[in-house]
Structure 1
Amino acid sequence: MDAIRNTVLETWMTEHGYSSNSLAEAVNQAVERLSGRVGGLDGSSVRAWKAGRVSWPKSLTRNALEDVTGLPAVALGFVPRGRPSPAPASPQQEEPDMKRRTLVGGIAAAAAAAAAPGIASRRRIGMSDVNRLNKRFAEIVASDHRHGGQLGIEERAAALADEALNLQNTGSATQRVRSSLYASAAAFRSSAMWAAIDGRRYDVAKAHMREAQALAEMSGDQAIKFRIWSHAGTMYRHMGRPADALAANDVARNLHLTRRDPLFASLGHARQAATLGLTGDTAAVQHALGCAQDALARATSDLARPVWMAAVRDGAELATLALSAHLRLGSFEEAESHAHRSLTLLHPRMQRDRAINSARLAHAQLGQGDADAATATAMKISVEAAVRHARVSRMLQEFGAALRAKAPGSATVRTWTEHTTSWRTAA
């Protein structure tokens, strides 16, 4: 008897975004969780299910598949051994019967969901819900690029993290969807953490960090784990705690993601270099920056990466972190060179980073004794950034103090003082 194609399984896979290979991988992972042994399925195994050549998988495989999909095997179109299979359709009946089997399979799936306790009134959560959250995450990242560590961004990101978590309790979902929801929640919480770091609200940032780390572990998403630990390293660097910053960066750099994708490795090395600038170890900084540059050269553009990696892809983040490292070392000429490069590479939408790097450039120029050029650079920073962004405000206050120490009573100091006096009305 000819095999009957399992169109119910095919329909489910299409609706949930699975290919034969990705479903095989998900089931293998579930097999390992259930039995402790690595599953041995591949894309051809799933294609055999779809073709009907395997109408009733082995017990462990079925349990794993049910764990992944949240549905019993019969609701996915599989037929238990010993149960008579439908007769093969004639050529004239094949298309209507295929539609009927798809419809029957959908009804069976709905019935199985309705039979589960507490599920009857709950909707099905799918990748469309995850995609909607991902669009909101892109909006949060864009707001961060424009405005930086504002409390409003932190609060919106935290609220969206809660929204992603609440979705877990409003309906049934596959393991893949649940993991993606946890990853979304972790991503939003990491943005709340970053906004708090950028606004110098470090105690709040630590609270966001702890929750983000827990959510990332539940998601299993390596990219978001990298982001959170890398942010933690930056937070400790800004707090003047280099040992903790280096340790946090090492957690990020040792994730296997960095071995699979050189772009993440590049960012890890560059952030380590910025922290090493606090230690005064010039050789270590140069080595880390060299490793970052080598990894960036190996990175390809054919991999899908998170939206927050955009500045890493074009080299702007590497130039920014090299600027920070050399400024900390007191290598002002090299710092100025990296500042100009970063300002050239930064996308126009990255207004916060542009303001910060302009302030750093002013410090680098002042460090070389050029007070006039430094003051002219600092005066180009927008009033909004100067008075409303905590890091920029602090850097410009430090610049003013250094300028007065370098050229006390000079016309340049008077020009700077008059310029900053005008900010009071905008504060």
Structure 2
Amino acid sequence: MYRRTFLNAVTAAGAALTAPSATQRRLGSADVDRMNAKLAAVVAMDNKYGGTRELQFHAAALAQETVELQNRHAASTRIRSELYGVAAAFTASAMWAAVDGRRLDEAEPYLDRALTLAGLANNKFILFRVWGHAGIMYRHLGRPADAIRAAEIARQQSITRSDPLYSSLALARLATFHADAGDVRSSLRAIGLAQASYERADKAKHRPSWMGFYDQAELDSLATFALLRLRKWEDAERNAYRCLAGLRPELERNRGLTCANLALAQLGQGDIEPAVAAARSVAPSMARHGRVGMLLDSFTTQLTAVAPRSSETAAWQEHRRAAA
């Protein structure tokens, strides 16, 4: 299903590259636009289905294709910089797909390549994105100090000073990393600062396609992750509900994450029946996917420990087996 839908989406985006001619030509803005259209298609598929292996490999192949395009043709310094930036964005998408799919051993090698390409592009926006993804990768690798440092580097990029929306995202991610490290004060402070920055941001300002996911719902989602780690169950539940109320329908992976987090927040309060209902609301297509599946596995373990003889537990375990 992913393959068919993905290929249809890419075709619909009109993003297929034409084969280079035997005669060298001069690359221009049309080539950059064509590659950016393919990048937008990759981002859209990630938002909908999450980091499938096919999406990971496709993004990596597009990064290589973008670099090879430059090696075969002439281009101005500006066009080369823009194309290196697109190649870096594709590589960051491949890294993120691997992280989201919990293929962490495959994710880390993309980091150096993405940083190299972003450096060649001298692109501060892509550097922000790469370090942001690196922080999440380090978090899942169980390296909280590295995650915090990566988030700090992202926050130090100049764009966070000129555009509060980037600052808000960096701070919201930093809140989750501080929570992983058990630093309650820093985590809660980062959540507050992220919200304040978000409220100052110009929401109508033009930004890269890969930044389109970040809105109030995503901020609430990241706050939910942090609050769960801090065992602030009621606050986590409140943020999860607020996220779901504002979540755009096309962000199916994010909906799965938030429903799983809502279930964990309710379970933390001993509310077994609504917790199981929230867990069951995760779409079957998402229930076994990467980070969503990891959260639901954690929910299963905790539910079994808290209420091993409950009828709700038995029903959930059967539901989980049927979805395998």
Is structure 2 residue 304 aligned with structure 1 residue 404?
yes
TM superposition score normalised by structure 2: 0.91
The equivalent residue for 1:219 is 121
CA distance in 2, matches of 1:244, 1:199: 20
Partner of 1:414: 314
1:331 and 1:172 map into 2 onto residues whose CA distance is 57
1:215 partner letter = L
Structure with the greater relative contact order (CA < 8 A, sep ≥ 6): 1 or 2?
2
Residue 41 of structure 1 is matched in structure 2 by none
Whole-angstrom CA distance in 1 between matches of 2:99 and 2:310: 36
Q: State the Cα deviation string for residues 305-333 of structure 1 (Å, max 9, x = none).
A: 11122232x31221111000000000010
In the alignment, is residue 323 of structure 1 matched against residue 203 of structure 2?
Answer: no
Residue deviations 1:139-176 (CA, integer Å, cap 9, x gap): 00011011112100001100110111011122111111
- Pair 1:302–1:398, CA change in 2 (3 A): closer
Contact between 2:47 and 2:213, CA under 8 Å: does it hold in 1?
no
Alpha-carbon distance in structure 1 between the residues aligned to 2:213 and 2:71:
35
Equivalence for 1:187: 89
User: What amino acid is aligned across from residue 243 of structure 1 in structure 2?
Assistant: A
* Corresponding residue SS for 1:168: helix
- Say if 1:316 and 1:342, in contact at 8 Å, map to a contact too: yes
Unaligned runs of 5+ in 2: 1-21
Q: Hey, what does 1:370 align to over in structure 2?
A: 271
| Residue in 2 that maps onto 1:42 | none
Shift of 1:197: 0.5
1:20-419 equivalences in 2 (<5 Å): 121-312=23-214, 314-387=215-288, 389-419=289-319
Scaled by the length of structure 1, what TM-score is found?
0.69
Does the residue aligned with 2:323 lie in a helix, a strand or coil? helix
Supply the AA of the counterpart residue of 1:362.
A
Point out where structure 1 has 5 or more consecutive residues left out of the alignment: 1-119
CA distance in 1, matches of 2:292, 2:127: 28
Percent of matched pairs sharing the same residue: 45
SS in 2 for 1:172: coil
Q: 1: CA distance between counterparts of 2:271 and 2:137?
A: 31
Single out whichever of 233-242 and 176-185 deviates more from structure 2: 233-242
Per-residue displacement from partner, 1:330-352 (whole Å, max 9, x unpaired)?
Answer: 00100001111111222111100
Deviations 1:291-312 (A, max 9, x none): 1111111111353211122232
Give me the whole-angstrom Cα distance separating, in 1, the residues matched to 2:203 and 2:137. Answer: 29
Distance (whole Å) between structure 2 residues aligned to residue 199 and residue 392 of structure 1: 9
The question of whether the paired residues in 2 share the 8 Å contact of 1:311 and 1:346 is answered with no
Instruction: Supply the AA of the counterpart residue of 1:160.
Output: L
Q: 1:316, 1:346 within 8 Å by CA — same for their partners in 2?
A: yes
Q: Distance in 2 between matches of 1:145 and 1:404?
A: 31
1:423 & 1:317 partners in 2: Cα distance?
27
Q: What CA RMSD, in Å, does the superposition of the two structures yield over aligned residues?
A: 1.2
CA–CA distance in structure 1, aligned partners of residues 259 and 183 of structure 2: 25
In 2, Cα distance between equivalents of 1:417 and 1:258: 45
User: Structure 2: how far apart are the matches of 1:162 and 1:350?
Assistant: 28
The question of whether the paired residues in 2 share the 8 Å contact of 1:324 and 1:335 is answered with yes
CA distance in structure 1 between the aligned counterparts of 2:83 and 2:213, rounded to whole angstroms: 25
Mapped to 1, the partners of 2:204 and 2:307 lie a distance apart of 52
Q: Note the alpha carbon deviations across 1:330-389, whole angstroms, 9 max, x for none.
A: 0010000111111122211110011011101100000000011000110111112112x1
Report the Cα distance in structure 1 between the residues aligned to 2:165 and 2:258, rounded to whole angstroms.
22
